[in-house]
Chain A
Amino acid sequence: QKEVEQDPGPLSVPEGAIVSLNCTYSNSAFQYFMWYRQYSRKGPELLMYTYSSGNKEDGRFTAQVDKSSKYISLFIRDSQPSDSATYLCAMSGYSGGYQKVTFGTGTKLQVIP
């Protein structure tokens, strides 16, 4: 079993829809929960991160972490065609004095105008 599981999609939604992306994990030591966005032929870029459980909102994006269920989500409101990308969940905890990051497989999202 992988430490981080993510539905690979692809996910196709109409413009303006609410998008829900999810990951589950097995390692209880994870403390930081991140969402990265990766456009085609580019490196991943950090969207937002959460420390421990709770919600965090940034504009149209909301990240939720439920450590008791080992489940994290990213919601995108009023989705735009420019949101079309692969979304990677990632998690980290301290290992050897640094934050070792483990990524999910990514969910490919297409927002149709």
Chain B
Amino acid sequence: DTGVSQDPRHKITKRGQNVTFRCDPISEHNRLYWYRQTLGQGPEFLTYFQNEAQLEKSRLLSDRFSAERPKGSFSTLEIQRTEQGDSAMYLCASSSGLQGRTAYNEQFFGPGTRLTVL
């Protein structure tokens, strides 16, 4: 399967614990995005990487959240001291570089990691 993969698919943790999620993008894609999706809502942007550089972070990304993409390939999203409000689906997406002003650089999404904080 050459699509975006995420691991784990499900994570149940207790409040206060740290969790880490991994995303493996499509191999030739240099752009990687993290989103959070809660029940009944659309995905909300968290952060964006171009290669290994983290170029934008949403205000949703509190200081308990950190994301890395050390070699410009896979990425990790860590949540420290989890809270019940962190329960959500965490989606990763990847895309290629700009194709021109009239082309949308499709973001290909992974299956997500569903986090439940008890």
Measured CB to CB, the residues of A under 8 A from B are 4, 6, 8, 32, 34, 41-46, 49, 51, 88, 90, 92, 95-106
Point out the residue from B56, B103, B110 that lies within 8 Å of A43, measured CB to CB.
B110
Q: Is the CB of A101 within 8 A of B45?
A: yes
- Whether A99 contacts B111 in the complex (CB less than 8 A), given A43-B4, A44-B43, comes out as no
Give the CA-CA distance A99 to B102 in the complex, in Å.
11
- Whether A99 contacts B41 in the complex (CB less than 8 A), given A41-B111, A43-B4, comes out as no
Within 8 Å of chain A (Cβ to Cβ): is B48?
yes
Looking at chain B, what size class is its interface with the partner chain? Answer: 20 to 34
Give the CA-CA distance A102 to B105 in the complex, in Å.
14
Give the CA-CA distance A34 to B108 in the complex, in Å.
13
Give the CA-CA distance A36 to B92 in the complex, in Å.
15
Complex contacts, B55 vs chain A, CB 8 Å: 96-98
Which among B33, B95, B106 has the highest number of chain A CB atoms within 10 Å? B106
Q: Is the CB of A99 within 8 A of B42?
A: no
Q: Is the CB of A45 within 8 A of B40?
A: no
Complex contacts, A99 vs chain B, CB 8 Å: 95, 98, 104-105
Shortest beta-carbon distance, A50 to chain B, in Å? Answer: 9
Q: Is the CB of B104 within 8 A of A88?
A: no
Within 8 Å of chain A (Cβ to Cβ): is B50?
yes
Q: Is the CB of B104 within 8 A of A32?
A: yes
